[in-house]
Structure 1
Amino acid sequence: MVKRLLVLILLIQLNAEAQSSALTVGDSLYANGNYSKAIKAYEKHSSQNQVYGKIAKAYLAIGNNGKALENYKKGVEANPEDALIKFEYAKLLLRSKQYKNASDLFEELIYIDYKNPNYHYQKGVVLEKLKDSTFLNRYLTAYQLDQTHQNAIFKIAKYYLIRRKHLASHKYIDKGLESYPENVELISLKAQNYYHQDYQNEAKLWFKKLLELGEESEFIHEKLSILFAKNSYYKEAIFHRKKVLNYNPYDATSMFVIGTYYERLNDFKTAEEFIRKSLKLQDVSLNKEYAQLGRILNRQEKYKEAIKAFQKAVKEDPTDTFTRFSIIFTKEQFYADKEAIIKLYEDFIAKYKDDKISRFAEMHLKELKEKNFLKKD
């Protein structure tokens, strides 16, 4: 009898050690990134209820979200009081776009521990995905429970920025930056707030701060280019717009804008180059672009090319009377036959007598006739 008891105790001990060993081996394999082998080790554990969460994490690590969800679900059913596994399961449901199930689980977690800010934050994320208008309340509750909660602060500040409630947005951003001064997401919101408020110097300062922190993007450089151009710092504006082209070399709008900046710097040759590049890339109405090119060519006294550009602009938009007038004005500079030019102006005035530009054309025609009369004398 004693022998049997000793054998039974020995078997129980050996089994316990084997199970402990399976768990230890599984944990070691997981820690070293050998996730598939870790799963096999965990599956040898006699009490699967204890390892569903570990198996789910390992499946998640190898990208098998379906198996991870399956094991998290088993873990939650086997351990309904385990808030940690429930939280991990709810987050994976959220990532898997199973928003309703995720919402229900986060609601349960909030009931278990109302003072946990992360539960409220995650519930807010789900509600936002579900387009439930109460999502902001969850973010605000998370913030009230933890005023250093960067994710909740970002969501609240962004909410107010979108609705152009800049003071409220700034308030939360400043609070977040107190505990994390280098939070680039909040710094970006700060810059955008100032940009939309048209506080140009402040916006530049905060966008440049993003660059100093190593955050470069097409958006940042585009906004800096616009801000510098508003203050007539065209060299800086060109620098940042060219950075935009690094992200999108076929951005016709940026090429056109760069051309206009070079025009402001009286570098008409380079302006022409960028405007032409822009035109080649566009397949929409190019009236504005061809008209701009015509004006730039005029400034370089390339009158014949300017006339062609203006004619293309009119072809793109036949209602553009100002460009029609520009064609005649350019011909006036290019052709010696002033009588023919006078006839062009007279025909233009007769055809577009109700257009505002015809008044200017009449005044100019009068001056031209007087000059032509004096030359004859």
Structure 2
Amino acid sequence: MIKYIILFILLITLYKAEAQSSALELGNDLYAKGYYSKSIEAYQDHTNKADVYDKIAKAYIALGNYDKALLNYEYSVKANPDNTLFKFEYAKLLNKIKQYKAASDVFYTLVVTDSLNPNYHYELGLVLEKLKDSTTQDRFLKAFRLDSTHQKAIFRIAKHHLIKRHHKTVDDFIDIGLKSYANNKELISLKAQNFYWKEDYHKSIKWFEKLVELDERTLFVYEKLREIYIKVYNFEKAIEYGVLALNLDPKSPENMFALGQAYEQQALLYNNEDDYKNAEKYMKAAIEILDRPLDGEYLKLAGVYSSQKKYKEAIEVLQIAIKENPRNAFTYFRLVLLKEVYYEDVDAKIKAYEEFIKKFPKSRYLTFAQSKLSKLKEEKFLKIED
């Protein structure tokens, strides 16, 4: 009889163990296939919940239910107080849901437990960054010293020094990072920006073009290349990237206007009528959309018109610019100069200079305006004498 009882107990134990194993395997299989809700149901059939709390938490994260994920991680950490992996995942979730103070507390505990783990220091640094803690960079540097190939730590350190314009330090860290991962787009972008801020535009172009080669075809990259190519007087490439930027953001007035400026610069270089037309087209389109004072934009458009000897249109545009910002002496002075070229009547020219002198008696253009006015009056007097 005792034998039968022992056998029965063994069978029950084996059945329970098999049931638990089956629930765990089923849950894992469902999770791997993306059936997250069903995987949670399977895990909940597991009698020893301490073994599956972390798995349930991960499934809830996959579903986007962070409250239940957090709750299950809390259960997991309490049930497995020595499991640092569960604590690590728990702390990362706290960071994700912006509970930064709680996350930092857990990460500090992990750092004390294992001070040689670079990822603990790095993740703590991310949280401290959100808390605007002054020791943030110390954590990233510690992660780097523990693992000199830690790409994410290198990026954070280099970015910090780029903001501070510590160009040499930026280059040093990025070069270390690129030795172990030559195609790290984030580091390549920082390197390109570092050369940009050093005004080493040709090297900056090289690294931004490297990003394009790596299919980092973003608006930021296109805008920077357009801007830098203008600075090195390669207007053809500036236009190429200006078009690409506008294709990515077709309603951006800033990109429209910048493309117009690229065409204007090329038009001035080659005196090409089509380039002037494109400059007009994109500048006018941008001005129609921009919702702010536009005197600067109108001033540039007037320059495009005057370069083509379209003085009437240039004058009209400058008059609009003055309405946008009546205190801009330079715009008013440009208008006076254009009137002198466009008007045939000497009295009209004289009146334009007199109005400018009266309106801007302290302008830096005053001496020039007074000299021109004097010459025009002399010209008028000589005509009367004749």
Smaller-chain TM-score bracket: over 0.9
Aligned residues: 377
**Deviation of the 1:353 alpha carbon:** 5.0
Greater shift, 64-73 or 251-260, is seen at: 251-260
Q: Distance in 2 between matches of 1:125 and 1:342?
A: 66
* Partner residue, 2:321: 313
**Deviation of the 1:351 alpha carbon:** 5.6
Structure 1 segments unaligned to the other structure (5+ residues)? none
Deviations 1:229-264 (A, max 9, x none): 111111211222222222322322333333333222
* Partner residue, 2:250: 249
* Partner residue, 2:271: none
SS for the counterpart of 2:298 is helix
* Partner residue, 1:282: 290
Question: Percent of pairs identical after alignment?
Answer: 47
Greater shift, 58-67 or 73-82, is seen at: 58-67
- For 1:286, the aligned partner's letter is L
Deviations 1:66-109 (A, max 9, x none): 11111111111011011111111111111111112211211222
Deviations 1:192-227 (A, max 9, x none): 111111111111111110010000112111111121
Q: Distance in 2 between matches of 1:77 and 1:229?
A: 61
Q: Distance in 1 between matches of 2:196 and 2:23?
A: 59
- For 1:79, the aligned partner's letter is N
Deviations 1:133-167 (A, max 9, x none): 11111111111111111111111111111111111
Residue 75, structure 1, aligned to residue 76, structure 2: yes
Residues 19-58 of structure 1 aligned to structure 2 (within 5 Å): 19-58=20-59
Residue 363, structure 1, aligned to residue 371, structure 2: yes
**Deviation of the 1:18 alpha carbon:** 2.0
Q: Distance in 1 between matches of 2:257 and 2:57?
A: 53
Tell me, yes or no, if the aligned pair for 2:339 and 2:352 is still in contact at 8 Å: no
Q: TM-score, normalised by structure 1?
A: 0.92
Q: Distance in 1 between matches of 2:47 and 2:357?
A: 97
Q: 1:68 to 1:309 in 2, by over 3 A?
A: same
SS for the counterpart of 1:265 is helix
Structure 2 segments unaligned to the other structure (5+ residues)? 268-274
Deviations 1:175-208 (A, max 9, x none): 1111110110111111111111111111111111
* Partner residue, 1:222: 223
Residues 171-250 of structure 1 aligned to structure 2 (within 5 Å): 171-250=172-251
Q: Distance in 2 between matches of 1:369 and 1:74?
A: 93
Q: Distance in 1 between matches of 2:306 and 2:110?
A: 71
**Deviation of the 1:118 alpha carbon:** 0.9
Residues 332-343 of structure 1 aligned to structure 2 (within 5 Å): 332-343=340-351
SS for the counterpart of 2:365 is helix
- For 2:4, the aligned partner's letter is K
* Partner residue, 1:301: 309
* Partner residue, 2:111: 110
**Deviation of the 1:336 alpha carbon:** 3.2
Q: Distance in 2 between matches of 1:274 and 1:90?
A: 50
